[in-house]
Structure 1
Amino acid sequence: MKTFDVVAVGSGTVDLVFRVPRLPGNDDKVVGKKVAELIGGTVANTACVMGKLGLRVASLSTAGNDYFGQSIVDDFVRNHVDIRFVQRKSGIDANMAVIFLDDSGEKALVYAPNDETETSMVQAQEAISDSRVVYIMPGRLDKFRAISRYAKEKETKIVVDIESHLPDSQQHIHEILSLCDVAIFNKEGFRTSLQQEPERETLEQLVRKHDLDALVVTCGGDGVMACNREKYASHPGYQIPVVDTTGAGDTFNGAFIYCYLNNTDLADALSFASAAAAINISHFGARGKLSTVNDINNFKEKYQ
């Protein structure tokens, strides 16, 4: 039996959050107010979601030895994420994100990663071989190839999160899909990578072509659609008051992976993951409300 359900490959981030009356455009200026300094990071957020849901999760990442690095590590621990594969290094800055929230709760985000690779391949191989699933954003194709090929040798599944800002995802999307088992896109990431609209027939064709366990496309306020080898399913999302959409996709992904590992029916998995995301966006911050399984089931009972 493997020690971990999931190893999440990606470092934490410090999020500086500003409230603005509207999101700025090109050559534009708005007056806002800094409202928070929070710990985030796309993959790191998802790791914390999974930890809160009770999965055995480890982070494969780097963190500095400064105040911000310690804050990132402390938040992993708080959310039941194992830190044995977090490499602490002096002299590296934390990944930073500046997030603008308008009065509707919608966001714009600027991400400034550091240049540090997540960790050594020795640590990576140990973490991968001892996990059921690797969760990763394929930001660097060479690194993703190495990790995914090693994972397949160790019978470890690969789940990827594909977003529109990843250049290798746009240029090599079919190779990436051929190297993973589950692909989760946001709508813009799907359009940018595949130059197509996400529609049922397209999703079914991609699942067959790349022999995927599942392909998922989240569509923000319009819900989510997904396909596996057996069926197509969709969910409209939950209509609730929005406080902050930061981390909605990360939360959905963590809850979906929880369902994937528990062999949940696809439609039920979309409902469960959508509920987790809805709970989180009704609170402030990317990790505003990370839910337990009971929290999500109670929410579903209330809104269904």
Structure 2
Amino acid sequence: MKKILVVGSMSVDLTIETQRMPEQGETMKAEFLELFCGGKGANQAVSIARLGGAVDILGCVGSDTYGEMVIENLRKNRVGTEMVGRSSSALTGTAHIFLINHDNRIVIVPGANDTVTPEFVEVQLTRPFSSYSMVILQNEIPSETIRFIVKRCQEEGVPILYNPAPADVAAGDLMNELTFLTPNEHECGQIFPQWTLAEAVGKYPNQLVVTLGSKGVIFHDGQTIRCIPAYKVKAVDTTGAGDTFNGAFALEIVRGKSIAEAIQLANKAAAISVTKKGAQGGMPTEYERQQFNS
């Protein structure tokens, strides 16, 4: 079976539901607090595994209760955790999510995710990058590590999907080495401020894939701009929708689908994911995706 490697963050999400954000100096009560497993790397790996894909994750958690919770959740979802390290000096990363009217604002505390250095990757990696069908990266680990892995994968001929979130304005410098760059519309504007969205995707046909939220996904197929529409659903929590998309998109590419087909299937998975709370709570299985009708 073709296997994917995700190198990235894993954390615990503390989701606070409230009617609005407090003003400066204001203290207010929230509706409630819930804990979920998250982190963009872990989310994308779980998205792949739920859809029946074979996936390993490389990253780091703390030697704390949250770290145990993260690893147990990954194993429960059939994600390979052999390359997950346990830091004795840093706590497991956390994301503090304010859920307001079914949308979110997020503050990240990296914790052990910041210990995922190039040296850490070399120690934890138990099989060569070339043994994987694709490597997925995101920006919740150090930027030097992203560049180290991109270089290694290029040397070993491994396709790379880089989801530049949170935005790294230097991500465009890697386009010659990447198979796919998958920013959202806002991130794309930060990475390529010199171009409009249409100009940017036209500059990188079949490589730059830009998510537009409820408007779908746009890319250039080498001849024309294509916009693959999103599925209409009633959103409960949009946290993790982009990660669901990226995991599903990578899996379908590895399975041999065209870019347009992979986007359509990933859009469907992302739509399902927002119908439940938590970054991973609504991520669908392959059966659930097949049964979905918007």
Query: Shift of residue 259 of structure 1?
Result: 1.4
Q: Is the 8 A contact 2:63 2:88 kept in 1?
A: yes
Matches within 5 A, 1:1-304: 5-24=3-22, 30-103=28-101, 105-114=102-111, 115-117=114-116, 119-124=120-125, 126-138=127-139, 140-163=142-165, 165-166=166-167, 169-170=168-169, 172-195=170-193, 199-207=197-205, 213-229=206-222, 232-299=225-292, 302-303=293-294
- Alpha carbons 1:190, 1:196 under 8 Å: kept: no
| Structure 2 residue matching 1:96: 3-state secondary structure | strand
Q: Indicate the larger mover: 81-90 or 135-144.
A: 135-144
The CA deviation at 1:92 is: 2.1
* Structure 1 unpaired stretches of 5+: 208-212
Q: Is the 8 A contact 1:20 1:30 kept in 2?
A: no
Decide whether aligned partners of structure 1 residues 124 and 297 sit closer, same or farther in structure 2, where only a CA change above 3 A counts: same
Mind listing any 5+ residue stretches in structure 2 that lack a counterpart?
A: none
Tell me, in whole angstroms, the C-alpha distance in 2 between the residues paired with 1:140 and 1:88: 17
1:152-188 CA distance string (max 9 Å, x none): 222211110013x44xx21x23322222111100111
Which stretch has the larger CA shift, 115-124 or 38-47? 115-124
> Counterpart of 1:251 in 2: which secondary structure?
helix
In structure 2, C-alpha distance between the alignment counterparts of 1:59 and 1:99, rounded to whole Å: 23
Kindly state the Cα deviation for residue 228 of structure 1 after the two structures are TM-superposed. Answer: 4.2
Give the counterpart letter for 1:124 in structure 2. L
Q: 1:274 to 1:120 in 2, by over 3 A?
A: closer
CA RMSD of aligned residues (A): 2.2
In 2, distance between residues paired with 1:45 and 1:274?
16
Q: Percent identity?
A: 27
Q: Could you tell which deviates more after superposition, 31-40 or 276-285?
A: 31-40
* TM-score when normalising by structure 2: 0.90
Shift of 1:22: 2.1
Letter in 2 for 1:130: S
1:15 Cα deviation from its structure 2 partner: 0.6
| 287-296 or 3-12, which deviates more | 3-12
User: 2: distance between equivalents of 1:25 and 1:220?
Assistant: 27
Contact map agreement 2:116 2:145 (CA 8 A) in 1: no
Residue 205 and residue 101 in structure 1: after superposition, are their counterparts in 2 closer, same or farther (change >3 A)? same
Greater Cα offset, 174-183 or 250-259: 174-183
The number of residue pairs the alignment matches comes to 289
Work out the CA distance in 2 between the residues paired with 1:120 and 1:253.
22
1-structure distance, mates of 2:23, 2:188: 24
CA offsets 1:108-137 (integer angstroms, 9 cap, x no match): 010110232253314337352321111012
Deviates most, 133-142 or 53-62: 133-142
